[in-house]
Amino acid sequence: MYFDSHAHYDSRQFDSDRDGLLSALPLQGVECVIDPGCDGETSRKALEIAEKYDYVYAAVGWHPQEWESWTADSIGEIRALAAHPKAVAIGEIGLDYYWDKEHKALQEEMLRAQLELAIELDKPVVIHDRDAHADCMAVTLEYPSLRGVYHCFSGSAQMARQLLSAGWYLGFDGPITYKNARRNLEALAVCPMDRILIETDSPYLTPEPMRGRRNDSSMLRYVVQKIAEVKSISPEAVAAATAENARSLFGISY
């Protein structure tokens, strides 16, 4: 059974068939899903989905790409949403210099505010780090009491070692199946099984051989197969270990 620790079922790309798809996931071996919000609206929608399905939980947060909608009231909005019993983390939060290099200071302000909220509320965080490895790691490591996952980890093996030594989990998804995945696989190789989470980032990052189609949690099996190949263990062992890791991080028991 698979635990998809990062899937955006609040996305408009699922508007036409969301209920049918989610209802079918347990029959496809998916036992649990975390849906992370990216601003106030999507965080609320993720919670609405989590209320409807026992096996779906939400993270609430403000994504760095959503800097334009961040206001003085945003942290209070996230605080209120985080009080929901199915809000298990603060996220998706972080730094993204791929899409925006002009507002680094604001992105860092957003990130720090939400990291401090997570510490206050004793919740894990879901970190988005794209083309901002040095800055993102420097900021997060300033808060040694934090716990969480670097979602869709794309840093080096050396960065992975530093984060692992500080107690972080690393999330791996479709890109580890791509032909140009050397860097991703080097990081995966140094990550012990008790620190790996599996993700889809649905509807994005569809793994091979399904690349080009909309992603969903049923495609986790391709990610699991690749991890099993790298770690020389069975896919069943990968699924079991990563599900246990996710339950431990997010405080979910079932």
Q: Which long-range contacts (CB under 8 A, 24 or more apart) does 142-149 make?
A: 143/115, 143/116, 143/119, 145/119, 146/115, 146/118, 146/119, 147/249, 148/89, 148/91, 148/118, 148/124, 148/249, 149/5, 149/124, 149/125, 149/197, 149/249
The pTM for the full model equals 0.96
Tell me the average pLDDT of the chain: 97
Q: What percent of the chain has pLDDT over 90?
A: 98
Q: How confident is the model at residue 211 (pLDDT cuts 50, 70, 90)?
A: very high
Mind spelling out the 3-state secondary structure of 242-254?
HHHHHHHHHCCCC
**Per residue in 101-137, pLDDT tens?**
889 999 999 999 999 999 999 999 999 999 999 999 9
**pLDDT reported for residue 13:** 97
Q: What is the mean pLDDT of residues 167-196?
A: 97
Q: Is the pLDDT assigned to residue 254 strictly greater than 80?
A: no
Instruction: Report whether 39 contacts 62 (CB < 8 A).
Output: yes
